[in-house]
Amino acid sequence: MAALPDLITVAQFRQLPEGGEFAYELHYGVVVAVPRPKARHLELQHRLLFRLGPKLAGFGAVRIEYPYRPVAEFDLRAADVAVISLKRWDAIDPDDNLRGAPDLVIEVKSPSNTQRQLQELVALCLANGAIECWIVDTERKSVSVVRSEGAAVVYNSGAAIPLASFGAGELAVDEIFA
């Protein structure tokens, strides 16, 4: 039988040097190199931040590249865009990261993302506190929304994504890709 790999904890991961061509995340105790976002990706993240921020101000904080720990000891990831309720935001240890997934996790699909990776991310987040996960597809100009109760809907140009789970109205898909 083959030996199991040594799992890295969040505490050990934080001791590793930073910098270089890649950013790093901790997935299930394994260090994973993540390409740094390109300008188009960053621009879309900021557009989501500026569109969602005012709409969700009564619910909580909207942030980009936000670190969170979906599995406390062996996971440290960064959401492209995260929405965290005010109650959870106030409970975050300032010397740690959000425990569990943000209430809304938005992943901007990149060429490096596989379908399986996106499915695993959505399942991980929904199992660890997320109310919704969005996958933003810039090629198709669509947003796939998966809710914690299992409903999945794809929103295309001309449609609007309901924000009722966060006490707000809606966000037009065309505003995201404007």
pLDDT at residue number 170? 98
Report the percent of the chain where pLDDT is more than 70: 98
Cβ neighbours, 10 Å, residue 34: 14
- Quick one: tokens of 137? 């597809």
What value does the mean pLDDT of the chain take? 94
> Cα 160 from chain centroid?
20
Is the pLDDT at 36 greater than 90? The verdict is: no
pLDDT band with cut points at 50, 70 and 90 for residue 2: low
**pLDDT tens sequence across 39-88:** 999 999 999 999 999 999 999 999 999 999 998 899 999 999 999 999 99
Cα dihedral 92, 98, 100, 106 sign? positive
What pLDDT score does 149 carry? 87
Domains by residue range for the chain, with CATH: 37-176 (3.90.1570.10)
Looking at residue 143, what is its pLDDT?
A: 98
Got the DSSP string for 96-114?
S-EEB--SEEEEE--TT--
